[in-house]
Structure formats: C-alpha cells, structure tokens
Chain A
Amino acid sequence: MVSSVTNLGRRGLYDWLVQRFSAVILASYCFCLLGSFVVHPDMDYLQWKALFDSNTMRIYSLITLLSLCAHAWVGMWIISTDYLTPMLLGNRATFVRLFCQVGSAILIAIYLIWGVQILWGN
C-alpha cells in the first residue's frame, strides 16, 4: 500500500468513483443546456436569465459546479503526482508538487465561491 506523497489519507477507490460520478453529472448538465438551446433556438438574455431564476436550475448548476471542482481537484492531483516526481525534478519535486496542489486548491475554491455568487447574485 502506497501511503506517501501528499496522499492525505485518501483511498484510490474513493477518488476513482468521484471522478466517474462527477463526469456523469457534468455530461448530463451539458446535454441539458444544449437541449435548451435546441428547444429555444432564438433564446435571448431575458429567457436565459429566467432559466437561471428557477431554484431547480440553480441547485442543478450548483451540483454541477461542485462536481466540476471535485473532478478538477482529483484530476490536478493525479497530474501533479504523475509528472512532478523526483525522477523529473530531483529534490525540488515535493516542493513544486505541493506548490501546484495548493495553487490548484486555491483556484478551485475561488471559482466555487465566484460561481455561487453568480448563481445567487442578481
């Protein structure tokens, strides 16, 4: 069992499932949005705004946003542990990897807060 490398005690299966489930939600959201464009080919700003005024759409969007964040975090974590290794970077690897991971986490958190503000703002 591999437990080092900023693993944060996570389990492989858990990450794997998070990625699969979030991907399904993201895909369904894309289809719903595309579908609404097909149903209303001449959608204008007011209709678009009305769509996002309903709480159902807001909650669906929030779930999608959370999925996107989870998906991005697992993905960025995997990419950083695949490519930012001591094999490639020598002793600096742990520092560079941590830097990228913290950077991703902060960015993801900012996007999440910003997204919520957009959904529930005016």
Chain B
Amino acid sequence: MLVSIYRYNPETDDKPVMQDIEVEIPQDQDLMVLDVLELVKEIDPTVSYRRSCREGVCGSDGMNINGTNGLACITPLSEVVKPGKKLILRPLPGLPVVRDLVIDMSLFYQQFEKIKPYLIDSNPAPAIERLQSPEDRKKLDGLYECILCACCSTNCPSYWWNPDKFIGPAGLLQAYRFLADSRDTAATERLANLNDPFSVFRCRGIMNCTAVCPKGLNPTRAIGHIRSMLIQKGS
C-alpha cells in the first residue's frame, strides 16, 4: 500500500513535501492507521509523529488522515481508504508544524488555560470531600471525557482565522464543563470572561468540531449552552 506522508523540518526545509512510501500490509487484517505508521517508521526511521497509549486515551496522535482529522490509533484503515488507494497523512491543520506530523500545540493549550479549567469553589473546604448528587454529576457526561487531542479545534475555520482570540471548540467544551458543575461558584466571572466578540461568538455553528471528535463529544451543543447562559445573564 502506498502511504503519502507530509514531511517538513522547519529548521532545514524551505517548504513541506509529500513523501510516498510503499508499505507491505499483512493480508486479511484491518490495521489501524497508527500500525501503518509504525510500519513506515521501520522503513524510514526519520518520520516523526506523536503517540503514546495506542488506544484513544492519551490524545497525542491526532492527525489529518485522508482529509479528516482523527486519532491514528483508533482509525481503521478500511474506514479511511478504499482498497488500492493511497493513505494520505498530514499534520492537524492550522497550527505551526514542529516536524512532519508533530504540531506545536502551545496556542491550543493557551486557549484551554484561559477558561480556568479547574473547579473554583469559594465555600470553605469540607472535612472529607465536596459532594455532588448523581443527577448533578450526570450533567458532566459528554463534557469531561475530552482528551484534548485538538482534532476539533484544528478542524474549525473560525479557529484557523483567530487561533489567538477564539477559544475554539475544545476549550469551550471545557468552559461549559465547569459552568455546568454544581460545585463551581465562579459562573458569573467565567461568563464575564467569555463575553467579548471573539472568545465564544466566533463560533458559526457549522459543527466541523462535532463531526470529527474521536470521543463522540459535541462541542457545538456546549457552545450553544454557553450562549444561552450569556443571554440569561445579559437580560
């Protein structure tokens, strides 16, 4: 099988090139894209990418696979390439490339940091732990599972245009995760920090984020909830 890989070392190369590498795929097996990359690395050890858990938990191998963002380790070949066609691997779009498929995630993390991704509770700490009813806990389902792989934010046109100002779907999903937490007491300040023309309102609701989230989460819906909260506060 022919694998076409984006190769770029900003320190030595003028511009990126696509390198074609022929890989022998074992018969009658549906490999994951990450397995193919490992085979590629045996042929050309200079190909660079991030990986760790190889089971969709760590979020380190987000990349653009035949035009769609996803985690290489849980994307079966059969899902992305038709038999006899090329597998095309590029880095996640919109962020600076460090080397080949490895991108610089600093901007992405800065946006995450901005939303204060931790519980703020001004009540005095109880003796044992802060309790939450099962119903309140349930409100966090579909929010807390995010692994910060950046597949969504790097698939969002609004994030491409303003990666330094628009929080992006991943950060906003987490912003809502803390707004929705019954133990958090900082909702007013959190909302005030989001009510500018960029942080939330650059979202155009085209759901590119939701379409690619490998964990099946729905940032667009969370952004809608944040907007409703802002409208309620504002009126």
A residues engaging B (CB < 8 A)? 1-3, 5, 7, 10-17, 77-78, 81-83, 85, 87
Stretch of B25-33, B71-79, B194-202, B207-215 on the interface side:
B194-202
Stretch of B9-17, B59-67, B141-149, B226-234 on the interface side:
B226-234
Complex Cα gap A78–B197 (Å): 9
Decide if B196 touches A11 in the complex (CB within 8 Å): yes
Partner of A1, one of B161, B194, B202: B194
**Is B110 in contact with chain A by the CB < 8 A criterion?**
no
Complex Cα gap A85–B157 (Å): 14
Query: For A87, what are the chain B residues with a Cβ–Cβ distance below 8 Å?
Result: 161
Partner of A12, one of B158, B161, B162, B198: B198
Query: For B198, what are the chain A residues with a Cβ–Cβ distance below 8 Å?
Result: 2, 5, 12, 81
Known: A13-B230, A13-B234, A16-B227. A2 touches B165 (CB 8 A): yes
In B118-164, the 8 Å CB interface with A consists of 158, 161-162
Known: A2-B196, A2-B198, A3-B196. A13 touches B231 (CB 8 A): yes
Query: For B195, what are the chain A residues with a Cβ–Cβ distance below 8 Å?
Result: 1, 11-13
Query: For A16, what are the chain B residues with a Cβ–Cβ distance below 8 Å?
Result: 201, 227
Decide if B165 touches A5 in the complex (CB within 8 Å): yes
Complex Cα gap A36–B102 (Å): 61
> Helix, strand, loop or mixed for chain A's interface?
helix
Tell me, rounded to whole Å, the shortest Cβ–Cβ distance linking A98 to chain B.
16
Known: A2-B198, A16-B227. A82 touches B158 (CB 8 A): yes
Interface size of B in residues (CB-CB distance below 8 Å): 19
Decide if B193 touches A1 in the complex (CB within 8 Å): yes
B183-205 contact mask (Cβ, 8 Å, vs A): 1 or 0: 00000000011111111111000
Decide if A12 touches B193 in the complex (CB within 8 Å): no
| Given A11-B195, A77-B197, 8 other A-B residues pairs in contact with their CB atoms under 8 A | A1-B194, A1-B195, A12-B196, A12-B197, A12-B200, A13-B234, A16-B227, A78-B197
Please list the 5 inter-chain residue pairs (A to B) with the smallest Cβ-Cβ separation, ordered nearest first.
Answer: A12-B201, A2-B198, A12-B197, A82-B161, A2-B165
Complex Cα gap A78–B195 (Å): 15
Query: For B201, what are the chain A residues with a Cβ–Cβ distance below 8 Å?
Result: 12-13, 15-16
Chain B residue at minimal CB-CB distance from A19: B201
Tell me, rounded to whole Å, the shortest Cβ–Cβ distance linking B85 to chain A.
33
Q: Which of B192, B196, B201 has the most CB of A within 10 A?
A: B196
Query: For B194, what are the chain A residues with a Cβ–Cβ distance below 8 Å?
Result: 1, 12
Query: For B199, what are the chain A residues with a Cβ–Cβ distance below 8 Å?
Result: 1-2, 12
Complex Cα gap A1–B190 (Å): 10
Query: For B162, what are the chain A residues with a Cβ–Cβ distance below 8 Å?
Result: 81-82, 85
Complex Cα gap A85–B197 (Å): 15
Tell me, rounded to whole Å, the shortest Cβ–Cβ distance linking B229 to chain A.
10
Complex Cα gap A7–B201 (Å): 13
Complex Cα gap A5–B193 (Å): 17
Query: For A10, what are the chain B residues with a Cβ–Cβ distance below 8 Å?
Result: 197
Q: List 21 A-B contacts (CB under 8 A).
A: A1-B193, A1-B194, A1-B195, A2-B196, A3-B196, A5-B165, A10-B197, A11-B195, A12-B194, A12-B197, A12-B198, A13-B231, A13-B234, A15-B197, A15-B201, A16-B201, A17-B231, A77-B197, A81-B198, A82-B158, A83-B161
